[in-house]
Amino acid sequence: MERIYTDDDANPAALKGATIAIIGYGSQGRAHARNLRDSGFKVIVGARHGGGAAHRARADGFDVKAPAEAARAAQFIALLTPDMSHRDVYARDIQPNLSPGNTLLVAHGFSVLYDQIAPRADIDVVLVAPKGPGDLVRREYEIGRGVPCLFAVHQDATGEARDKAMAYAAGIGGTRAGAIETTFREETETDLFGEQAVLCGGATELVAAGFKTLVDAGYKPEVAYFECLHELKLIVDLMYEGGFAKMLHFVSETAKYGDFVSGPRVINDETRTRMREVLTDIQTGAFARQWVAENEAGKPNYQAMWKADLDQPIEQVGAELRRHMAWLQAEAPASAPAERQPASQAA
């Protein structure tokens, strides 16, 4: 079993006297900044003057500076903007304002692993990735608990990079729930694979395929929606809370038997071959090159695929059915494309 690090293993003194600049005040950035401040660290926020992020940070009581000014004033810089902005933000605002011995932190290793940024040799480069969205990171901290996190060291110029990363993880509450040491490569490749093969790509395609299979066979779209999407939350919640064991405990005997005999018919050797192909594209950098090129071209394919996803019949049926679910009305779904970030680093 991999060692799980706790508060007892972290040394907050590793960041004693340091000013921490949070560059990017989105979901993760806001949670990190507030938790770190409440843990006793000096925190400033780097955000574009006049923007919504700067307004929110000031309303939260932070000293807000332009990103370049924040980087210049800090010894520890947490870059928590979206992946595809890292290259420009680092080159324009951070790199020219670094001093030897400073620390650069990211919450997802994509930009470092795939050479979107090339950190100077005289700084520490670390990663701390909470395994949950920013609102959960903040909420758990406030009630005295925490969200598990990963941490890693890419570059150790001072000999203290690991201690700093663990101190930061403790500051946001990560070591309360347990922190696991990893590498930039492992964090990035597993995160991308999970999103593509299971959490986002795999899950949505499975749901859409199940819905289409039932509708094509003559069943009502509304009934197909309930069976293939609506009830998915129940199953995922049970697995999240207690693994396969809890899910199997709560579903019917018929559902259990159907799981055992039909699951392997749907997710079979061909599926696993396709999963290995997805992983290979990630490991070789092919996916990263494709995604970077897509962004540089203005994301035309991305926008078209987003629209195609939302134009599926299951989306139209679901929108109508959800109008009758009072408990969902406070949650407004996104209606226009906007880059999805991993839970560990949305900003």
Active-site residues, by number, are 108
338: nearest Cα among 289, 294, 302, 288: 302
Q: Which two tokens stand for residue 197?
A: 């093969």
* Bridge-based pairing state of the strands 149-155 and 124-130: antiparallel
Cα–Cα distance for residue pair 132/338, rounded to 1 Å: 19
DSSP 77-103: EEE-S-GGGHHHHIIIIIGGG--TT-E
Q: Within 13 Å, how many C-alpha atoms sit on residue 159's CB side? A: 0
Q: How far, in Å, CA of 66 to CA of 71, rounded?
A: 9
State the Cα–Cα distance between residues 214 and 280, nearest whole angstrom.
33
Tokens at 175, concatenated: 């070591």
Q: Give the up-direction half-sphere exposure of residue 286: CA atoms within 13 A in the CB hemisphere.
A: 9
Beta-ladder partners of 42: 19
Residue 164 CA to residue 152 CA, distance in Å, equals 11
